[in-house]
Chain A
Amino acid sequence: MADITRQQIGSLLAKQGILIAFVAFLIGFTIANPKFLTPDNVLSVIRSSAILGVMALGVTFVVISGNLDLSVGSMMSFSTIVVLDLHDKIGPALAIPAMFAMTLALGALIGFLVGYLKLNSLIVTLGMLSAIHGLTLTYSGGKNMDIADKEGTWFSVFGQGTALGLPIPILMFVAVAALLGLILSRTSFGRKVYAVGGNGTAATFSGIPRARTVFMCYLISATCVATAGLIQASRSLGSQNTVGQGLELEVLAAVILGGASLLGGSGTIFKTVIGVLILGFIQNGLLLIGLQFYVQFIVTWVIIILAVWLDIAAKRGKLMSPIA
């Protein structure tokens, strides 16, 4: 009897280690500052995590397919700047689809290079990180972009509006997560993504179109980036060219924190959402505690590494590597 309970706990830990770590960590911060878990604060954290979160959802597909996407930060800057610029030139109704088309074109280029030309995704997306940053600066001439009439535009709804009592960015995050979660877990395309990332050669011999699957993953990632850029632009109605700089690493951290393997083949949308929330709540929690900010850098990453370790240890059933 005792053995069974122990096994059950073990399997629960192995499956939901990251979720348990998340709950433990919420309790810890709430004890440190009771304001941490108030509805206002929780909503404001989720709302500001939504931008990073939507990007992480797309990158989850790329990572499961066995590739990386380091270009999402500068691609988000690009989307934000483009949609803000076009807003005043052709109006929001046309600016949004135009921005999506331009961002998807970039995603298609990366997907072509990694999927069909089989170039290393780390190098391609690292290169695109710089190239897209240059493209954004060329486009804007380095100037900050601001919408002229900030009060009078309906464009602000995506970042600042509410529906059903909830901020729109949260609803968009939930909607995209639900849609992509269904695609990943309930469609044949989703299974192909796992197959390609788990064992690409085996997938090819099983008749799975490897190149097209990878290509589609980058298109999904670019769609998510464009959505994030839309929320970002709408939230502040103005932006500098470097708004997404450095986000690629936070996005990747959220995806890995959720338990996706960098080697591909594993990960889920739900766990990525948990990873995103952990990151958002750590940053907010440390601010509320009022820790000196130099120390915050250290503590943030200590917590992330600790969480990844606990997750892996729970899966292995051991704290140390079994083959060390």
Chain B
Amino acid sequence: MTLRTTLIASTIASSAIILAGAAGAQTMKIGITQNNVGVDSYQTTYESAFIAAAAENSDVDAVVLDAGGDVARQIAQIEDLIQQEVDAIIIWPTNGEAVIPAVRKAHQAGIPVVVTNSNIAEAGFDFVNSFSGPDNITQGARSAEIMCDKFKDMGIEGEAQVVHITGQPGYTTAIERAKGFEDRMPEVCADVMIVDTQPGDWNREKSQQVMEAFLVKYDDIDGVYSGDDNMGVGALNAAKAAGRDGIIFVGATNFAVGYEAMAAGDYWGSIYQSPVDDAEAALKTAIDILEGKELPFLNYFDTPKITQDNMGDYTKPVF
């Protein structure tokens, strides 16, 4: 499959180069190896957005690959891309540590590497030209601000109690969002207490169970922060089933279900992170590097706050 994809891709690529050569423009051949397309709607949308963005730019010739969540396959794909002498490689790491040797190989072959969405481990930073993705620490901090502002509106910022449901323990995104939230909350709302933190493993059902236990344990819960909206909606379901009203739910990565719950007035706010922006930012970062522009190493795309107040400015997420 990989070989066939590669062959087809390279055939298309070479014919495109010939055509482009005839047209006199300089074509950039950019290869991407993704983490696991199809495992969730975010990654599925990311891929189609990337292909669309590449097709729109006549100077770009994209080789789009997917590792299917398999580190070994991703390493082989990076090696394939090096063999094909692409101009730049974009990688969405399946594993932040294991891909470093392959990334180094690309770097040694003189091919610029862009890491997208989730960064690789620090040991590999020397071989990477730029990271393009969301700033999860800022996302966590912004969620804290959204919640604090709402508490101030309600006049309970001096006494509010918050529970925190994190993503899967050990995942960088989960750790960074939790850190951003827990560091920022005391800065903006010094008297708000984060009374408990437990993982919901990015899983709606697990998060619902965790919230059920929180509701038994604490008679007074004013706010719930969840590492993403999928878990946030699980927690919301638990509160609804227990008949506990007036809790302020704030999440991250606004999902369609979160957006709908906001429209229904049950869920207060989230962070708008679009897979389309993510994909387009990755491609643009690679192009900018090839065009010799100066870029920061951590090239974040913006992920704004979304609440019931401003949700009209944003379209409903497709995932």
Contacts and interface: CB of A to CB of B under 8 A. Distances in A.
Interface of A: 33, 35, 38, 40-41, 44, 48, 51, 137, 141-144, 146, 160, 232, 235-236, 238-243, 283-284, 287-288, 290, 293-294
Contacts, number: 85
B319 to A, nearest CB: 7
A236 B210 contact: no
A144 B255 contact: yes
B169 A293 contact: yes
| Interface of chain B: mostly helix, strand, loop or mixed | helix
A293 B199 contact: yes
Given A240-B203, A288-B216, A290-B217, A144 B257 contact: yes
A240 B230 contact: yes
Given A243-B203, A294-B169, A33 B217 contact: yes
Contact of B217 (A35, A141, A160, A239): A35
B196 A290 contact: yes
Contacts of A283: 209
Interface stretch (B35-43, B112-120, B279-287, B294-302): B35-43
Nearest to A236: B204
Given A48-B208, A48-B209, A243-B203, A142 B40 contact: yes
A253 to B, nearest CB: 16
B212 interface: yes
B205 A243 contact: yes
B270 interface: no
A236 B199 contact: no
A286 to B, nearest CB: 9
Contact of B216 (A40, A238, A240): A40
Interface of B: 37-41, 43-44, 169, 196-199, 203-205, 208-210, 212-214, 216-217, 230, 233-234, 237, 241-242, 255-257, 319
Contact of A146 (B196, B213, B257): B257
11 contacts: A35-B216, A38-B216, A44-B216, A48-B212, A141-B44, A144-B40, A144-B256, A235-B237, A236-B233, A239-B204, A243-B204
Contact of B205 (A44, A142, A236, A287): A236
Nearest to A280: B209
A44 B212 contact: yes
B101 to A, nearest CB: 27
Nearest to B166: A293
A284 B205 contact: no
B230 to A, nearest CB: 7
B44 A238 contact: no
Contacts of A288: 213, 216-217
A79 B3 CA distance: 34
A41 B203 contact: no
A180 to B, nearest CB: 24
A147 B56 CA distance: 34
Contacts of B208: 48, 235-236
Q: Which 3 A-B pairs have the closest CB atoms?
A: A142-B38, A287-B213, A143-B41
